[in-house]
Amino acid sequence: MKPQAVMILFVWVFFRVIGSGALGAEPVQVMVSIPPQAYFVNKIAGDVAAVSVMIPGGANPATYEPRPTQMTALTRSRLYFAIGVPFENAWLQKFARINPHMRIVHTDQGIQKRSLRVHLQESAPKSTRHGQNSSIGSGKDPHIWLSPPLVKQIAHHMTEALVSVDPEHREPYERNLKAFVLELDRVDARIREILDIKGAKRSEILVFHPSWGYFSDRYHLRQVSIEAEGKAPSVKEMVHLTRYARKLGIDCVFVQPQFSEKSAEAMARQLGARVVMVDPLSADWKENLLQVAEAFAQSLR
């Protein structure tokens, strides 16, 4: 073949490749609020999307303020996946003004949220509940990502939004969603196995912050919280909590890295109990949830 013909063929193939996107297109820029959401997006989109997390691991979703570099990344984002954490109440409108072309998707849409209850929840007798005459807290629990069935709903919202801004990748998005749903079913079944404890004398778990309500509802546990609506208990409330925990034989207090451990440690000392760290915001969502299930099961045996 003549050199001129070779060059023409090369140019023709090059532009065919560019036109078909075989050399790779720019990934869809996605912003999420918390690390577990990044796990979900990566399961659905793979390398097609580039995910940035607004609230890093270990930070408190109620008080975190974005850094300048994150605000810059926000200007390039096509999607923002909200999930209902307190941080979003203060910042979503600001984000919309900074990047009016970015679509904000409320992935908690359609999910019935539980109330954030008072210190001793429905498992406790009325006489020992925080603020004996007080009503259940009016706030809604945002920790929906800790229940695998609810993650299915979150994932469906994410997939619909990704398809809407990137219809060329509809097929892989939807295929990956189906695979992820099957994975969620397997995780759900495995947690059920872990927490199917023969001869368990109680179902209560004592936590510092009430993050595990949806998880507890799903797996027939009862969450008893030291903190309620961001407030540590008073001395009187601590006495009630301690008596109640001793009555149940609780020997483990679960804390998380986003909050102070002082109240939990004080109660643990009175009970002679262990303090165990569990993180509801871990980036490795699947392995973390299985490890938390093992920790809860160990405390109930």
CA distances from 103 to 7, 106, 164, 167 (A): 44, 10, 10, 15
DSSP 127: G
pLDDT of residue 292: 97
Average pLDDT over residues 18-32: 69
Q: Which residue has the higher pLDDT, 16 or 157?
A: 157
Cα dihedral 83→87→89→92 (10° resolution): -80
Give the CATH number of domain 197-300; options: 3.20.20.330, 3.40.50.1980, 3.40.605.10, 3.90.180.10: 3.40.50.1980
For range 73-91, the mean pLDDT: 95
Domain definitions of the chain by residue range: 25-115+140-189, 197-300
SS3 assignment, position 101? coil
- Residue that wins the pLDDT comparison between 130 and 234: 234
Q: Which two tokens stand for residue 236?
A: 């009187």
* Region of poorest pLDDT, from 20-24, 160-164, 239-243, 279-283: 20-24
Q: 168-208: per-residue pLDDT in tens?
A: 999 999 999 999 999 999 999 999 999 988 767 788 999 88
**In the prediction, which pLDDT does 285 show?**
97
pLDDT averaged over the chain? 83
CATH number of the domain at 25-115+140-189, out of 3.40.50.1980, 3.40.630.30, 3.50.30.50, 2.60.40.10?
3.40.50.1980
| pLDDT over 80 at 75, yes or no | yes
DSSP one-letter string for 24-88: -PPPEEEEESSHHHHHHHHHHHGGGEEEEESS-TTS-TTT----HHHHHHHTT-SEEEE---HHH
**pLDDT higher than threshold 50 for residue 132:** no
Per-residue model confidence as pLDDT tens digits over 241-298: 888 888 888 888 898 887 666 766 777 787 778 889 999 999 999 999 999 999 999 9
End-to-end Cα distance, the chain: 78
Rounded percentage of the chain residues whose pLDDT exceeds 90? 56
Average the pLDDT over 63-74 and give the result: 92
- Indicate the range of 32-46, 51-65, 85-99 predicted with least confidence: 51-65
Segment (H or E) for 276: strand 274-277
User: Given this chain, do its domains 25-115+140-189 and 197-300 carry the same CATH topology?
Assistant: yes
198-242 confidence digits (pLDDT tens): 767 788 999 888 899 999 999 999 998 887 766 777 778 778 888
